[in-house]
Amino acid sequence: MEFVLTLGEQAGADLSEPSKLLQEAIFATKADEHRKALQLAGDAEAKAERILSERAAEMIAALRGSLPHLGDDAGSLKALLNRADASIASRDFEDTFRALSEGEKFVEIQIHTHAEEIVGDLALAVRMGVDLGAKVAPLEAVHRELNGFLSRGQAGDIVAAREKARATLASASEELTVFVRARITDRGPRGNLARGHRGLAAEVMALSPRGRGTGE
Among 108, 135, 164, the domain-final residue is: 108
* Residues with Cβ within 8 Å of residue 172, at least 6 apart in sequence: 125, 129, 134, 136, 138, 139, 207
- The answer, yes or no, to whether residue 202 has pLDDT greater than 70, is no
Among 51, 83, 108, the domain-final residue is: 108
Q: What domain range includes position 67?
A: 2-108
Phi, psi torsion values for 191, nearest 5 degrees: 100, 155
Domain count, the chain: 2
Among 77, 108, 139, the domain-final residue is: 108
Tell whether 52 and 141 lie within a shared domain.
Answer: no
State pLDDT tens for residues 12-48: 888 888 888 888 888 988 888 889 889 988 998 899 8
State pLDDT tens for residues 154-193: 777 777 777 777 777 777 667 667 666 666 565 544 444 4
pLDDT of residue 150: 81
- The answer, yes or no, to whether residue 214 has pLDDT greater than 60, is no
Tell whether 10 and 103 lie within a shared domain.
Answer: yes
pLDDT of residue 201: 47
* Residues with Cβ within 8 Å of residue 198, at least 6 apart in sequence: 180, 184
State pLDDT tens for residues 108-135: 888 888 888 888 888 888 888 787 777 7
